[in-house]
Amino acid sequence: MNLYDRIPNNVNLSEDKRLQRALEKWLPNFLSWWHDMGPEGFQQKDVWLRTAVDVGSEGWAHFDYVKMPDYRWGIFLEPSQADARVGFGDNYGAPAYQEVPGEFRNALRRIIVTQGDTEPASVEQQRRLGHTCPSLYDLRNLFQVNVEEGRHLWAMVYLLHGYFGRDGRDEADALLERRSGNPDKPRILEAFNQPCDDWLNFYAFTMFTDRDGKYQLSALAESGFEPLARTCKFMLTEEAHHMFVGDTGLSRVVKRTAQLMKQNPSEDVRSLGGIPLDIVQKYINFWFSYSLDLFGGEISSNSADFFAAGLKGRFKEQDQYTDHVAAEGSFTMLVVEDGKLAPREVPLRNALNEILRGEYVKDCEKGLARWNKALADEGLAQRLYLPNVRFHRHVGEYAGHYFDLDGQLITKEEFEQKKSDWLPTIEDREYVGSLMKPVTEPGKIANWIAPPATGIKGKPFEFEYVRL
């Protein structure tokens, strides 16, 4: 079969011999990676999946039964803009870069590789979840997320193959060689080395970690390197579903827990097979804090360099800001100085990671409001919350210090004492794990989660989303 039949695309693959040759070599390696590290146990099952087939706002996706290894991982970029310009930084207003500018080559490759590495990593993290799905609907959503992360890997590999030479091809190979959680060849970012081995982890991951992806992709969708901007814009259309899976998944867990709490006057949901809210809160604390790390250091010369070069912008750079140079101005944040929190003013461009993180936090708060509404609707007084951004951080100004959930500086000993109240313990994980029994009859749902409000693409919840 021709490569361009196998790979739906709008990048003129049939005309581009050099790109064809590179992808031809990479494709078998990708498929063998998918076979080894993709969803375990369901490769030969028919899954009702959407496949990107076009970039039009209407009908960009096609829904049908597909076996995952036959999924048509395509390469799609949003259409290019006539007269596209660099939208920010020192080269603001110059023609957008259509090729990799030599002076930014290393920075750009690093940005693309770091983004690309997250895509296969999450597939690896989630590869055994199919065995414990709470419903066929959820099983299908898991696989949808997995194949689309595979496509996002393709999107980044296209950029490496298409715009970089030998070093780009080497990096594309390395994306298939690192392994999530492997101490010898780990994935680049730590959130992507954490185990995601139960469905509460999966929902928290897609809520918080995929949402980091939304903000990184949004910042790159502003890029003056137009092929990157166009690629990321299209990835964002798929990413929305991933966050939907996490957001509604957690909402359904919370709703079910609330129902069980009402059934039992002592409010002990464990005896009824539910997930206690304090465990849900600990999972939120864990994934939210690891996801905050993904934005990088609060004070960052990289963020300043990437912005100056026109490579990585701010969230909604064009819609939200009028000064796209941002050469002046400052940003004040709290840092640890002499054992105390103290304000420090830094040049605006050095604070762009922190500013992007702030946008992300606002977005996460909306999810919390929805889950708390589910609690309120069930008549319960208890509420979930986000921990302070300083809590449990491993990257940036707060790494190496200890904070409570309110962001107050505490000692290591105090943290160790309270840790089991704040973060999932082995017992918590084992308890959640004990609830993870597969439910695979169409229309049936596990006891620890409420069914979704609607099915996918007009299909009812009872639809046979995966043929087992």
Closer residue to Fe ion in complex, CB, 242/314: 242
Output DSSP code: residue 9: B
| CB 230, min distance to Fe ion, A | 16
Closer residue to Fe ion in complex, CB, 108/142: 142
Closer residue to Fe ion in complex, CB, 193/281: 193
Angle between helices 277-293 and 352-377 (to 10 degrees): 160
Binding flag, residue 317, Fe ion (CB under 5 A): no
Output DSSP code: residue 294: T
For residue 293 the two structure tokens come to 């790390």
Span from 1-9, 165-173, 235-243, 284-292 in contact with Fe ion (CB under 5 A): 235-243
Looking only at residues 142 through 201 of this chain, which bind Fe ion when binding is defined by CB under 5 A?
149, 152
Choose, by CB under 5 A, the member of 117, 124, 210, 354 that binds Fe ion: 210
- Binding footprint of Fe ion, residue count (CB under 5 A): 6
| CB 243, min distance to Fe ion, A | 8
d(CA 121, CA 32): 15
Choose, by CB under 5 A, the member of 211, 214, 242, 324 that binds Fe ion: 242
For residue 421 the two structure tokens come to 């109240």
d(CA 354, CA 314): 11
Max CA distance (Å), the chain: 69
Looking only at residues 69 through 128 of this chain, which bind Fe ion when binding is defined by CB under 5 A?
119
d(CA 169, CA 166): 5
| CB 117, min distance to Fe ion, A | 11
CA distances from 126 to 26, 136, 231, 405 (A): 23, 16, 24, 28
Closer residue to Fe ion in complex, CB, 146/289: 146
Span from 9-17, 210-218, 327-335, 395-403 in contact with Fe ion (CB under 5 A): 210-218
d(CA 14, CA 2): 9
| CB 187, min distance to Fe ion, A | 13
Residues 6+ apart with CB under 8 A from 78: 55, 229, 230, 231, 233, 234
| CB 207, min distance to Fe ion, A | 11
Binding site for Fe ion (CB under 5 A): 119, 149, 152, 210, 239, 242
